[in-house]
Amino acid sequence: MVYFQKMTPEGYKQIEDEIAALKADRPRRVQNLKEARALGDLSENTEYSTAKRELRHLDSRVRYLNKQLKYAEVIQTKKDGKVNLGKTVTIRYEEDGEEESYKIVGRMEEAVLDGKLPFDCPMGRALMHHKAGDTVTVEAPIGNYKITIIDVDE
């Protein structure tokens, strides 16, 4: 069974941009490796070991990101008033009345500090497919809590 990774069009583009940046940096890394190799004795050449490790890491990251794109399922938003990938949701925590807004994104786009919330985290799962005015219970490892959806921005 093939598992597709759900993401927004913006998330897909973000991964494409990272791949392009890594590929653009690869010639510099290869040159660093060549220069370090020319220094001589490879058994005690830390520059060579470091350059080789950095190039290997870059190639590994490119392979990983390409695999993410290969198995990506880009979700287009629908104007149905329901919380889904790509939409911004404003919520209120029932315990303290604090309000916050998050853009619902795929797992690869996760960056809560940037106001993004993955659809498959406890809060994301609780919010998915609900509308403004709904109060949902978030089942989190630290304990359950209630939030009310104030607005779903199309």
pLDDT, averaged across the chain: 89
The answer to whether 42 touches 10, Cβ cutoff 8 Å, is: no
What is the C-alpha to C-alpha distance for residues 68 and 129, in angstroms, rounded to an integer?
Answer: 25
Burial class (CB in 10 A: 0-12, 13-18, 19+), 89: buried
Residue 113 has pLDDT above 70, yes or no: no
What are the residue boundaries of the structural domains of the chain, listed by start? Answer: 5-74, 88-153
Over residues 33-39, the mean pLDDT reads 86
C-alpha angle 143-146-150 in degrees, rounded to nearest 5: 145
Selecting from 3.10.20.600, 3.30.420.40, 1.10.287.180, 3.40.50.80, what CATH number does the domain 5-74 have?
Answer: 1.10.287.180
Provide, rounded to the nearest whole percent, the portion of the chain with pLDDT above 70.
95
> Which span out of 8-12, 48-52, 132-136 was modeled with the highest average pLDDT?
132-136
Q: What is the mean pLDDT of residues 102-121?
A: 81
Class of domain 88-153: alpha beta
Residues 58 and 22 sit within 8 Å (Cβ to Cβ): yes
Give the position of tokens 């990272």.
18
Higher pLDDT, 140 or 43: 140
| Predicted confidence (pLDDT) at residue 112 exceeds the cutoff of 60 | no
Q: What is the pTM of this model?
A: 0.76
The closest of 9, 56, 63, 2 to 29, measured between CA atoms, is 56
